[in-house]
Amino acid sequence: MKLPKQVEIIEVGPRDGLQNEMVFIPTDKKMSLINALNKTGIKRMEATSFVHPVYVPQMKDASEVFQGIVKDPKIQYMALIPNEKGFDRAIEQGVQAVSLVVGASNSFNLKNVKMTRAESIKKFENVVVKAKEQKIFVRYNIATAFWCPFEGAVDESLVVEMAKTINRLGADEIVLCDTIGRANPNQVYSLFSSIMELQPEAMITAHFHDTYGMGQANVLAALQAGVRQFDASIGGLGGCPFAPGAAGNVATEDVVFMMNELGIETGIDLEALRLSLDLVKQMSNRGLMSHYYSVLEHSCV
Ligand code: COA
Ligand code: ZN
């Protein structure tokens, strides 16, 4: 297998991981998790989201979290925003990197942000211009890039066209998300190969959920297609409140473990992830979807 020397793993646990937890996690616990993740070698993370507190109550303390965490100057802390209001709220708090989200599937986008896909794309044009003027890093997520919980399989050419538009707009990073964890490695290889062939100026990142246990296989397929950046969530937490049936993201520690085994550098210390793992274990009502953690728990090593 042709493998790169290194990849980057972007931690999305404090946002994607926690947003789907039903019981409100106290703000200081969210901050402790981010502060623990700071010490693991992670260089970029989604810390929170500036979304409507009624629709996603778990994220109602976004400002407090963002203000309260220890900010390591070597780490980029991103915040997800669903619209212009979210952008303004984030900027007020001093956020330097925003994570925009649009669903490739129109039905999903309507459920998620109450706008058609076209409306979201149009409104985000302004946001990207404003962000660029203020030298804010723009990460642009295409949610449901492979499958939609309401419409089924998503057309690859539609996602490629969206990626071209987003690249022309000047986004710094484009993230293709398998929001419901339904993609298979063939589909992943095909879409990412098409995107990489465009040679976009934006960085390309893969974001997988592990609903059917194909998360790591999809990471490997994307790696083969030339992707070098992967989102992952500590403890395998995650899921979108507006995408029924979605399980958590691929677990950070599982992806790090696989990369270590393949001799690929991530810069993340597996041992150092243990404290963060213990913290998410205490926070979540659900069991962790993490192979590495279950090995630790059952003392198999
Ligand atoms: N944060 C907080 N309040 C917001 C907001 C934001 N990002 N965007 C809009 N609002 C407020 C408006 O100011 C307005 O307030 P008012 O009634 O006091 O005037 C009210 O919400 C309605 O505004 P509107 O633009 O019509 O919003 P909406 O009700 O159509 O909701 C979203 C749109 C995008 C805010 C909402 O669907 C949302 O937060 N979705 C988040 C989805 C998510 O987090 N998914 C998981 C991650 S992908
Ligand atoms: Zn996700």
Query: Using a 6 Å cutoff on CB, does residue 284 contact ligand 1?
Result: no
Model confidence over 242-293: pLDDT tens digits? 988 889 999 999 999 999 999 999 999 999 999 999 999 998 877 899 999 9
Residues with catalytic roles: 240
Query: Tokens for 195?
Result: 């995107």
Angle between helices 185-197 and 156-169 (to 10 degrees): 40
3-state secondary structure of 119: helix
- Ligand with smallest separation from the Cα of 20: 1
CA distances from 3 to 85, 225, 294 (A): 42, 10, 27
Task: Tell me the per-residue pLDDT of 13-59, one tens digit each, with 9 for 90 and over.
Answer: 999 999 989 899 999 999 999 999 999 999 999 999 999 999 999 99
- Tell me which of 51, 101, 123, 242 to substitute to probe ligand 1's pocket, judged by most ligand atoms within 8 Å of the beta carbon: 51
Nearest-CA residue for atom 29 of ligand 1: 114
Sheet strands (E) in the chain: 8-11, 44-49, 76-81, 97-103, 137-143, 147-148, 152-153, 173-178, 203-208, 229-232
CA geometry: angle 252, 99, 292, nearest 5 deg: 5
Q: Answer whether 239 contacts ligand 1 (Cβ < 6 A).
A: no
pLDDT > 60? residue 102 = yes
240 CB within 6 A, ligand 1:
yes
At 206, list the tokens.
């893969």
With a CB cutoff of 8 Å and minimum separation 6, the contacts of 279 are 29, 32, 33, 36
How far apart (Å, rounded) are the C-alpha atoms in residues 157 and 25? 40
* Chain segment 109-165, per-residue pLDDT in tens: 999 999 999 999 999 999 999 999 999 999 999 999 999 999 999 999 999 999 999
Report CA(51)–ligand 1 centroid distance (Å): 6
pLDDT(170) > 90: yes
The confidence score (pLDDT) of residue 241 equals 86
Closest protein CA for atom 10 of ligand 1: 52
